[in-house]
A = this chain, B = another copy of it.
Amino acid sequence: MLSVRVLGSSSAMPLHGRHHSAQWLQYENLYFLLDCGEATQHQLLRYRLPFPKLNAIFITHLHADHVGGLAGLLTTLHMQGRQKPLYLFGPVGLRAFLEGQLLGTFSALRYPLYIQEMLLRREKVLLWEDNRIEAWGFPLQHGVPTNGYLFVEKPKPRRLDPARFAESGLPNKLLPLLKQQGEIVHEGRRITWDSVSLPPPPPRSYAYCTDTTFTTEIADFVSGVTVLYHEATFLSEHQDRAKQTFHSTAREAALIAEASHAQRLYIGHFSTRYKDLLPLLEEARQYFAETYLVEEGQTLAFP
């Protein structure tokens, strides 16, 4: 089951008790980190998250408020004695940036670090998958190479409906065969697996879109997403500033949620000029009712 914990919600500077960008995504025993601003390791400790188990880190872009804690976290994992591999996804330049820091601080990592750099232009690419989940990358528009990420559960199999199976009159011992074949002819009647089973819950998905200027392409990349996290650095009254800095307004985040038919929108990456965030929420809700502000330490709710 997809679960996302917010570690930071500030843009640019850590103010008003809000930290730089980072989110902790868990799916069963898979653990992903999305961005790694300065003091992410402190936040992971604060919320007692099992970060030694981390499988992969997904970096959106190489601005300090999204990668300032990366070298420190990787070094801490080393000092904790980590030996298992870690996967690191991000835009071009990530390897040079990171190796410069590790070399510059005389740090060597004991464990294998697999860095996958991407320069995405208009395409959405599958970055990682196992039998439970897929991770996709797609381009955002932020003036420097920037990736959005989409995490999608794979469809689960249909589940037995015991009542309808009993009605079918099929002996229990034929159930494995029915599942395997999809149908069985028993005592002259054709019984299908679909007729005695329930559809699985629809796969859930989570999209992480930060930082970006307003571009409707995002709605296509994340179409049908369950929960959308979209940056909303500014209010519409600072629309000019948003355009200049390749950021979005609360209204724009809501329009993307609407166009992508998301079930729920979380906004974050708030400008430090807003101590009170309620106006951002109110603005977004005019365009997309199911909008919520992220809060530090919060576990996002999946409908």
Q: Which residues of A are interface residues toward B (Cβ below 8 A)?
A: 12-15, 19, 38-39, 41-42, 45, 62-64, 67-69, 71-72, 75-76, 79-80, 93, 96-97, 100-101, 104-107, 144
Q: By the criterion CB–CB under 8 Å, are A106 and B63 in contact? A: yes
- Return chain B residues, CB-CB under 8 Å to A93: 104
A105 and B67 contact, Cβ closer than 8 Å, known pairs A38-B39, A76-B13? yes
Q: By the criterion CB–CB under 8 Å, are B106 and A96 in contact? A: no
Q: How many copies does the complex hold?
A: 2
Q: By the criterion CB–CB under 8 Å, are A71 and B64 in contact? A: yes
- Return chain B residues, CB-CB under 8 Å to A62: 104-106
In-complex Cβ contact of A101 among B12, B80, B101 (8 A): B101
What's the Cα separation between A45 and B20 when bound, in Å? 14
Q: By the criterion CB–CB under 8 Å, are A41 and B63 in contact? A: no
A101 and B97 contact, Cβ closer than 8 Å, known pairs A39-B39, A42-B39, A76-B13? yes
What's the Cα separation between A42 and B38 when bound, in Å? 9
Q: By the criterion CB–CB under 8 Å, are A42 and B14 in contact? A: yes
Q: By the criterion CB–CB under 8 Å, are A38 and B72 in contact? A: yes
In-complex Cβ contact of A14 among B45, B67, B97, B101 (8 A): B45
In-complex Cβ contact of A144 among B41, B80, B106, B144 (8 A): B106
- Return chain B residues, CB-CB under 8 Å to A96: 104
- Return chain B residues, CB-CB under 8 Å to A67: 105
Q: By the criterion CB–CB under 8 Å, are A41 and B14 in contact? A: yes
What's the Cα separation between A42 and B8 when bound, in Å? 13
- Return chain B residues, CB-CB under 8 Å to A63: 105-107
